Chain A
Amino acid sequence: ILNVEQSPQSLHVQEGDSTNFTCSFPSSNFYALHWYRWETAKSPEALFVMTLNGDEKKKGRISATLNTKEGYSYLYIKGSQPEDSATYLCAFRGGSASKIIFGSGTRLSIRP
């Protein structure tokens, strides 16, 4: 059974602070890792698709790294703002299979 785990489950960060959280996934048969941002009462929004070991992606204050050999990805948020409050989901796709396995998400709350 393939398992994708995210930690921590929830995180409370002061506005202006930087933060990061982790997605762990199977290190074998890797195809792609997706990060999604899911605000309350909205649809999940795709942030990054990462396919190569050592990939680093950046979108504004949010960036992500990928280590496929050890099976983890980090998401970093620099200078957190209230609008960053959301659940951040990672999703693993193995081999050429179309099935995606999601983690349970990290729920991020930013304190003003």
Chain B
Amino acid sequence: DAGVTQSPTHLIKTRGQQVTLRCSPKSGHDTVSWYQQALGQGPQFIFQYYEEEERQRGNFPDRFSGHQFPNYSSELNVNALLLGDSALYLCASSLLFSPQHFGDGTRLSIL
């Protein structure tokens, strides 16, 4: 039973570019949450998707957007990348309100 899988594992972009990160939830899970973890910080909640809709959103600008597909997989899109967007991006899946299972993350570096 595959857990949460994220791709790619590492990514290097330059300022102003756009990026798409992908997440496949654990089998049986219908809810996907995205987190940004900067160095030395705890994960910061970006948003959560359930039934293909954004259900909750953290304090992130509109440059951060997402999508959930009918198979429950999800994408995180970030436009107009800034140096400060360099971080580990974690995806977590769950059944709504249950403990989350995390992926290994995508390390995004902005040059």
Contacts and interface: CB of A to CB of B under 8 A. Distances in A.
A binds B: yes
Contact of B101 (A46, A97, A101): A46
Contact of B99 (A49, A97, A105): A49
A89 B40 CA distance: 12
Nearest to B96: A98
B103 A43 contact: yes
Given A89-B42, A89-B43, A43 B96 contact: no
Contacts of A101: 45
Interface size range of chain B in the complex: 20 to 34
A102 B100 contact: no
B48 A99 contact: yes
Contact of A97 (B44, B50, B56): B56
Nearest to A36: B102
B4 interface: yes
A101 B55 CA distance: 15
B55 A104 contact: no
A89 B4 CA distance: 19
Given A34-B99, A42-B104, A44-B102, A99 B41 contact: no
Report which residue of A6, A43, A49, A89 has the largest number of chain B beta carbons within 10 angstroms of its beta carbon: A43
Interface of B: 3-4, 31, 33, 35, 40-45, 48, 50, 55-56, 58, 90, 92, 96-105
